[in-house]
């Protein structure tokens, strides 16, 4: 496992560095045959370009976009260390092809032109690049999902799942809740900004355009932070019920029969890519804080659902007991 | 916290629910200051009418085990744990006495007669 992890990290690093070198190097190497400013943008209708950049900017801007994206995708996953990185492949492979292709097309269009206005739109190139990028994305997705499908079989063994002993004629229910005060604080702070923007908007204090954007952005941010600042979970004969936020809405429910296994796992925000409602190689995680998570595998699914919650061990054990009770009759 | 209800118990339901919460407090399932699940949550999970749950919670408040706070819901009162343990033992004593044919008054007399 360690060897493949290192190999994948190496592949990602080499791919990132290689694409950066090609993106920045192509225009610089060909600078003797290029005009001072490069045509970098063409309108949808016309053949002639409508945007240009100095040579150094045309070399560096795509490289910077690439580096920032690559860092954003790989760094959290690198720190976490689980061997499954689906989004790395699915994002970096097509994006690298897209940027490299676009850069090649730009260089080709500007090659041997005296002025950037003479550069013609490389339509066939653009279409070919888009097709290649989509194909690469699909191929990356297939590769990753097959690899994950293979590794799945080893992780879901029913015997390892802990189960609580329910005495005959007893009804057991489990409650737990977890809150992240920092997220609550953040939600309140962003909410205040949104309220301030609304007041300014009503009072006509500033330009409505920006204020509307501030109000909408901060309002949505505050709601999202508030919704995922606390979670409640309960396990009863109705199954697992999870609800988010102070209002207990929205919520999700799984009947005991809808769950294949339940277990406790220690996870951290770095592993799942941050706080809140997260989709990652580990499946869906509602992450409020590092530590115990209740992880379930819904029936007929190939990915897990996890919530960070205290006392997850017993919740999982009760859920397993209810599940096996039901199948036994 | 884990709550446990006996399906074969013949006592009134609100007493059973109160007993389950009392036992949870005695066993340290919820510490003083902890917030209890809402009455609606409890009623749905235990499959008991919400009014029955409220009746049980009010009873526990009157015993001094719970505090009702506006805006914070129902919390476990300070010092509730030893209190609930004693209450459970008194309950067991009553049951044992009844089984042996002593009435409550007999029991009170016996306690009064203790040195």
Q: What number is the average pLDDT over the span B82-100? A: 85
Smallest Cα distance from B41 to chain A, Å = 8
Considering only CB atoms, which chain A residues are within 8 Å of B8? 169
A268-287 burial, b at 16+ Cβ within 10 Å, e below that, comes to ebbbbbebbebebbbbbbbb
- CB–CB contact A172 B46 (8 Å): no
Residue ranges of the domains in chain B?
13-113
- Asked if A15 and A96 touch (Cβ cutoff 8 Å), the reply is yes
Smallest Cα distance from A241 to chain B, Å = 9
Strands A305-308 and A283-287, bridge-based pairing: parallel
pLDDT of residue A77: 61
What is the secondary structure of B75-100 as a DSSP string?
EEPTTHHHHHHHHHHHHHHHHHHHHT
For B13-113, the fitting CATH number among 1.10.10.10, 1.20.1250.20, 2.130.10.10, 3.90.580.10 is 1.10.10.10
pLDDT of residue B52: 93
- Asked if A122 and A109 touch (Cβ cutoff 8 Å), the reply is yes
- CA A237 – CA A313 distance, rounded (Å): 18
Considering only CB atoms, which chain B residues are within 8 Å of A173? 2-3, 5, 45-46
pLDDT of residue A78: 60
- CB–CB contact A170 B7 (8 Å): yes
Tokens of B72: 């914070």
- CB–CB contact A232 B44 (8 Å): no
Q: How would CATH label the architecture of A174-178+229-328?
A: Roll (2.30)
Residue A165, Cβ neighbours under 10 Å: how many? 8
Q: Tally the C-alpha atoms within 13 A of residue A172's C-alpha that lie toward its C-beta.
A: 20
B10–A contact, CB cutoff 8 A? no
- CA B19 – CA B75 distance, rounded (Å): 16
pLDDT of residue A307: 92
Quote the ipTM score.
0.76
Chosen for mutation from A165, A166, A168, A171 (greatest number of chain B CBs closer than 10 Å) is A171
pLDDT tens across A135-188, in order?
A: 888 888 887 776 655 544 444 444 456 777 777 778 899 999 888 888 889 999
Residues forming a β-bridge with A230: A179
Q: Tally the C-alpha atoms within 13 A of residue A306's C-alpha that lie toward its C-beta.
A: 32
- CA B83 – CA B97 distance, rounded (Å): 21
pLDDT of residue A81: 52
Q: DSSP letter at A117?
A: G
- CB–CB contact B2 A238 (8 Å): no
Considering only CB atoms, which chain B residues are within 8 Å of A174? 1-3
- CA B6 – CA A314 distance, rounded (Å): 19
pLDDT of residue A83: 47
- Reply yes or no on whether the pLDDT at B110 is more than 50: yes
List chain A pLDDT tens, one digit each, 329 residues. Answer: 456 667 777 788 888 888 888 888 888 888 888 888 888 888 776 677 888 888 888 888 888 988 888 888 777 666 555 544 566 777 888 888 888 888 888 888 888 888 888 888 778 888 888 898 888 888 888 877 766 555 444 444 444 567 777 777 788 999 998 888 888 899 999 999 988 888 888 877 767 777 888 888 899 999 888 888 889 999 998 889 999 887 777 888 998 888 888 989 898 888 888 888 888 878 888 888 888 999 999 888 888 899 999 888 889 999 988 888 766 54
- The residue that leads in pLDDT, B72 or A110, is A110
Considering only CB atoms, which chain B residues are within 8 Å of A172? 2-5
- CB–CB contact B3 A172 (8 Å): yes
B114–A contact, CB cutoff 8 A? no
pLDDT of residue A148: 58
Query: If you measure CA to CA, which chain B residue comes closest to A239?
Result: B45
Smallest Cα distance from A236 to chain B, Å = 5
- CA A109 – CA A128 distance, rounded (Å): 15
All residues at 6 or more sequence positions from A69 whose CB lies less than 8 Å from its CB, including other chains: A91, A92, A95
Considering only CB atoms, which chain B residues are within 8 Å of A232? 37, 41
Segment holding A52, helix H or strand E: strand A49-54
pLDDT of residue A86: 63
B37–A contact, CB cutoff 8 A? yes
pTM, whole model, 2 decimals? 0.60
pLDDT tens across A103-148, in order?
A: 888 888 888 888 888 888 778 888 888 898 888 888 888 877 766 5
Smallest Cα distance from A169 to chain B, Å = 5
Smallest Cα distance from B4 to chain A, Å = 5
pLDDT of residue B50: 92
What is the secondary structure of A174-226 as a DSSP string?
EEEEEE-HHHHHHHHHHHHHHHHHHHHHHHT-S-HHHHHHHHHHHHHHHHHHH
Residues forming a β-bridge with B73: B69
pLDDT of residue A155: 46
- CA A121 – CA A40 distance, rounded (Å): 10
Helix axes A123-155, A86-110, angle to 10 degrees: 170
- CB–CB contact B45 A175 (8 Å): yes
Residue ranges of the domains in chain A?
2-155, 174-178+229-328, 181-227
Considering only CB atoms, which chain A residues are within 8 Å of B44? 236, 238, 241
- CB–CB contact A234 B5 (8 Å): no
pLDDT of residue A156: 46
- CA A145 – CA A17 distance, rounded (Å): 25
């Amino acid at each position: 496992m360690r060897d493949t992890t290192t190999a994948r990290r190496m592949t990602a690093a080499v791919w990132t560095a290689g694409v950066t070198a090609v993106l920045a190097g192509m225009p610089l190497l060909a600078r003797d045959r290029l005009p001072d400013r490069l045509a970098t943008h063409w309108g949808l209708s016309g053949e002639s370009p409508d945007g240009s950049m100095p040579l150094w900017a045309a070399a560096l801007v795509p490289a910077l976009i690439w580096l920032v994206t690559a860092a954003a995708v790989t760094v959290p996953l690198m720190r976490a260390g689980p061997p499954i990185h689906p989004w790395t492949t699915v994002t970096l492979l097509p994006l690298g092809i897209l940027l490299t292709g676009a850069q090649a097309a730009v260089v080709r269009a500007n090659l041997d032109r005296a002025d950037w206005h003479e550069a013609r739109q490389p339509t066939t190139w653009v279409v070919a690049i888009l097709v290649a990028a989509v194909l690469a994305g699909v191929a990356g997705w297939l590769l990753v999902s097959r690899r994950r499908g293979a590794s799945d079989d080893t992780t879901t063994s029913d015997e390892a799942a802990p189960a609580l002993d329910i005495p005959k004629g007893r009804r057991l229910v489990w409650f737990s809740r977890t809150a992240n005060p920092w997220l609550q604080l953040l939600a309140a702070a962003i909410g205040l900004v949104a309220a301030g923007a609304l007041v300014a908007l009503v009072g006509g204090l500033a330009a409505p355009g920006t204020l509307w954007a501030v109000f909408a952005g901060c309002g949505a941010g505050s709601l999202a932070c508030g919704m995922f600042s606390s979670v409640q979970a309960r396990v009863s004969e109705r199954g697992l019920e999870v609800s988010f936020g102070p209002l207990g809405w929205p919520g999700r429910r799984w009947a005991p029969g809808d769950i294949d296994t339940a277990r406790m796992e220690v996870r951290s925000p770095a592993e799942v890519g941050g706080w809140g409602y997260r989709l990652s190689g580990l499946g869906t995680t509602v992450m409020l804080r590092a530590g115990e998570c209740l992880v379930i595998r819904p029936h007929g699914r190939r990915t897990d659902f996890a919530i960070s919650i205290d006392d997850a061990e017993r919740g999982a054990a009760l859920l397993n007991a209810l599940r096996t009770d039901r199948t036994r009759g | 916290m884990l709550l446990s209800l006996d399906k074969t118990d013949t006592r009134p339901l609100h007493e059973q629910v109160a007993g389950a919460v009392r036992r949870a407090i005695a066993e340290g399932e919820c510490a003083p200051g902890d917030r209890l699940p809402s009455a609606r949550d409890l009623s749905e999970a235990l499959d008991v009418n919400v009014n029955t749950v409220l009746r049980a919670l009010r009873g526990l408040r009157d015993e001094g085990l719970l505090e009702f706070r506006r805006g914070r819901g129902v919390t476990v009162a300070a010092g509730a744990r030893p209190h609930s343990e004693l209450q459970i033992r008194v309950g067991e004593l009553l049951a044992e006495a009844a089984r042996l044919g002593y009435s409550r008054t007999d029991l009170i007399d016996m306690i009064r007669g203790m040195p």
